[in-house]
Amino acid sequence: MEIPSKLLEEVVEHFASLPGIGRKTALRLALNLLQKDEGSLERFGESLKSLKSRINYCTVCHNISETEMCSICSNSKRDKSTICVVEDLRDVIAIESTQQYFGTYHVLGGCISPIDGIGPDQLTISQLEKRVASGGIKEIILALTSTMEGDTTSFYLYKKLDSDELQITSLARGVPIGNELEFTDEITLGRSLLQRVPYKNNFSNNT
């Protein structure tokens, strides 16, 4: 049976176009919206309509920001010589929550993915090159997910940026803390054996 309303069908299709939401969930969400008061729906719709045109990005790191320069880039206590390259805002939030990183970021806005039509030009890669070329950068930390797209992007950036003055590092890969060995995939476990570290390093945060 089809959804007996074109408008509802439209809302369902919009929800279903979001990642991780199928048609059944989309219908559940749309019907839930019908229970809400009209004012709340009005505000939801209005904020969606203006989302893309009204959102601003930091001119330095390209993270979402209300101000021209975000709170991290304008913080004089942050180490400006280290740039951590991430995909989007969520990664910045995740790394900030560790309270172990005091450098700055560069938000790419995605990963190179030819299948989705995303090439280097759709990302903020040229802006990163400019930041590096302007000098004062000592280390680039590539903190992209290790999927096909993430690894491709990391390798592309490495090829573009590699020079004697610049240290290019990537996140340590290994068995997550608390995970049991038997449930760790063989690639991760294999790499954590190859890249094993002196035991006493575990006692310190700065090794």
Q: What does the binding site for a copy of itself look like in residue numbers (CB under 8 A)? A: 1, 3-8, 10-11, 14, 17-21, 24-25, 27-36, 38, 40-56, 63-66, 70-71, 88-90, 92-93, 96-97, 110
Q: Least distance in Å: CB of 135 to a copy of itself?
A: 27
Cβ distance to a copy of itself smaller for residue 115 or 133: 115
Q: Which residue's structure tokens are 């030819």?
A: 114
Beta strands 103-107 and 139-142 are unpaired
What's the closest the beta carbon of residue 5 comes to a copy of itself, in angstroms? 5
Structure token digits, residue 23: 């048609």
The two tokens of residue 169 are 């590092």
For residue 98, the minimal CB distance to a copy of itself (Å) is 11
3-state secondary structure of 75: coil
Contact 139, 118 (CB under 8 A): no
CA 136/CA 80 separation, integer angstroms: 8
Q: Provide the minimum distance between the beta carbon of 127 and a copy of itself in the complex, in angstroms, as a whole number.
A: 17
Q: Which is nearer to a copy of itself, 50 or 126 (CB)?
A: 50
Alpha helices in the chain (DSSP H): 6-16, 23-35, 38-54, 89-98, 125-133, 148-161, 186-194
> For a copy of itself, which is the closer residue by CB, 22 or 190?
22
Q: How far is the CB of 29 from a copy of itself (least distance, A)?
A: 5
Q: In 21-144, which ranges are continuous DSSP H helix?
A: 23-35, 38-54, 89-98, 125-133
